[in-house]
Structure 1
Amino acid sequence: MLSEVIATRYVTPLREGGSLPGIVEADDLGTYVMKFTGAGQGRKTLVAEVVCGRLAQRLGLRVPDLVRIQLDPVIGLGEPDQEVQELLKASGGLNLGMDYLPGSIGFDPLAYQVDPAEAGRVVWFDALINNVDRSWRNPNMLVWHGDVWLIDHGATMIWHHNWPTAQAAAGKPYDASDHVLAPFAPDIAAAAAELAPRVTEELLTEVAAEVPDEWLVDEPGFDGPDELRRAYVDALLPRARTVHERISLEARPKAPSGPPGWLTDLLGERPHQKKSGDR
């Protein structure tokens, strides 16, 4: 289960996304990117972050650790930005945090090489969760210590905004032609062979169990959080078996070939790597 911490200081907002997440410090001395229940997208964004983030981790993909964060609205009294102050006031109680990765930078497909195997795993996973927010315009990936990390899964599983369509959504195709990793010749078949058998009913049940009850109550058509958790399992399980057959990858300009990692710059050095003798 997700560990729980208490927010002790609001540091700064992150204005890249519409939900206005913020960087906070917590009582475990950790620093987190916090997503709020009072944001415009509501608690389903946090549900998606937990289900998809934890599923990705269980499948061996890199996602920052997730925690439950308790927020006292009084923490926002000294915040000068009225919009942020109102968001903090509206988000008292349980929220979601993602481990802050200091020194990470946004993924740039023109500067970082991804091998077909890893590209295939990410594209296959995004197809499974129907992620519409991993395009070259908004990659939602970071490079940290030379590795690619996946972030921001709030815009996934769009069927949970209209549950009567969930079962039909399992058979829908996934257009990956605009995916940020499309130019890296993702090996979808290998990813499906590796990952699909691991997406079992037991795994999905365990992942769904990590969503707090508070974010699952009062959902129309469901008799409580456990029944709603089961709906996430029932939507994802059949999709995992066959989604690879319905991933479309239109011809895109191919990325330069080479080993995974930073592409060599004009000086013949890889950026953000220590040179010999550096401390």
Structure 2
Amino acid sequence: MDNKPFLRTVDITRYITPLREGGSLPAIAEASDNFKYVLKFRGAGHGTKALIAELIGGEVARVLGLPVPELVFANLDEAFGRTEPDEEIQDLLQASQGLNLGMHYLQGAINFDPVVTTVDAETASKIVWLDAYITNVDRTFRNTNMLIWHKELWLIDHGASLYFHHAFTDPEGHAKTPFALIKDHVLLPQASVLDIVNEQFRGLLTEEKLTAIVSLLPDNWLQWEGVEKSPDEIRNIYVHFLTLRLKHSELFVKQAEHAREALI
């Protein structure tokens, strides 16, 4: 059985409403398969790097067995958005022609509230481990980026992960760096079995699986101003970062454990 990751491609047919959270203006949109998606635009603030982080972070989470809504490539036609009355949104849509990234819209989901919902130690440890691994700065009490849907916890929005790629200097050094910002993670107090999860996840995330995830990245997401590397060279850097960081996972696990001890 072929377990390689695969993303469907859909055409966006209807822009429904913006989600005015942060500066990137994601939106709910309907696609050619008649499903609704939360759309992340290549023409927004951090450009395709936010889409790359979203794709890699989401698909790594999926390999680890964590619940993430389906991701799809969302194609935006050049004529799309011309009738949009909001000039800011029209400019965003025009700048986002081609492949964007969609996340299946979880109709009726509610934001995770740590005061209302208790997460068990194993689940909390798995999510903390994931976020320390992909250097996700955005799973805090202020912005949990988790939803409750059909009484299950779902992870969303990994676009602020892999922040090494914004400078794209010394990825090897970044791979071997503990993740100090894990101290702000919303689930850190419950994450009491990080060592056990670390052993489990190191076995699940093979270089082959990481390479397969990175290979999903479209070439035109990897053509960056000021970076004189081919798309394949950039993909190789992502794979090297992810495999090296996995090899040195004890660094970010110990950082998380020390941060947790300081909290409790």
Does the pair score TM above 0.5? yes
Aligned to 2:259: 249
How is 1:218-257 mapped onto 2 (pairs within 5 angstroms)?
218=224, 220=226, 223-243=229-249, 244-247=253-256, 248-251=258-261
1:136 is aligned to 141
| 8 Å contact kept, 1:4–1:67 | yes
Deviation at 1:35, TM superposition (A): 0.6
Which residue is equivalent to 2:173?
168
Take 2:243 and 2:186, find their aligned partners in 1: how far apart are those partners?
A: 25
| TM-score between the two structures when normalised by the length of structure 1 | 0.86
Matched to 1:249, the amino acid is: A
Which residue does 2:3 correspond to in 1?
none
Distance 1:219 1:188, change over 3 A: farther
1:161-200 correspondence runs (5 A): 161-175=166-180, 176-200=182-206
- TM-score, normalised with respect to structure 2: 0.91
Q: How does 1:112-151 map to 2 (within 5 A)?
A: 112-151=117-156
1:70 is the counterpart of 2:75: yes
Deviation at 1:2, TM superposition (A): 1.1
1:74 partner SS: coil
Q: Tell me the CA shift for residue 246 of structure 1.
A: 3.1
2:221 to 215, 223, 231: 215
Q: Counterpart in 2 of 1:156? A: 161
> Distance between the aligned counterparts of 1:35 and 1:160, measured in 2?
18
Unaligned runs of 5+ in 1: 255-279
Task: Give the fraction of aligned pairs with identical amino acids, expressed as a percent.
Answer: 47
Post-superposition offset of 1:199: 1.6
SS at match of 2:60: helix
Deviation at 1:147, TM superposition (A): 1.1
Structure 1 outlier segments of 4+, above 4 Å = 218-222, 251-254
Count of residues in Structure 1 that have an aligned counterpart in Structure 2: 254
* Alignment correspondent of 1:42: 47
**Per the alignment, in what secondary structure is the counterpart of residue 152 of structure 1?**
coil
Q: Summarize deviations over 1:219-262 as a string: whole Å, max 9, x none.
A: 655542111111111111121133223324245777xxxxxxxx
Which range moves more in the overlay, 27-36 or 221-230?
221-230
Q: 1:69 to 1:111 in 2, by over 3 A?
A: same
> Which letter maps to 2:242?
L
Alpha-carbon offset, residue 186 of structure 1? 3.6
Q: State which structure, 1 or 2, has the greater radius of gyration over its C-alpha atoms.
A: 1
Provide the rounded CA distance (Å) in 1 between the counterparts of 2:248 and 2:103. 31
Contact kept, 8 Å, 1:45 with 1:155, in 2: the verdict is yes
> Do the aligned residues in 1 keep the contact of 2:126 with 2:197 (CA within 8 Å)?
yes
Q: Does 1:206 align with 2:212?
A: yes
For the 8 Å contact 1:222–1:228, the answer to whether it is kept is: no
User: Contact 2:135 / 2:161 at 8 angstroms: preserved in 1?
Assistant: yes
Q: Distance in 1 between matches of 2:255 and 2:163?
A: 17
Higher helix share: 2
**Runs of at least 5 residues in structure 2 that lack an aligned partner in the other structure:** 1-5
Cα pair distance change 1:218/1:17, threshold 3 Å: closer
Distance in 2 between the 1:34 and 1:64 partners?
Answer: 12
1:177–1:251 Cα contact (<8 Å) kept = no
Which of 27, 37, 43 pairs up with 1:32?
37
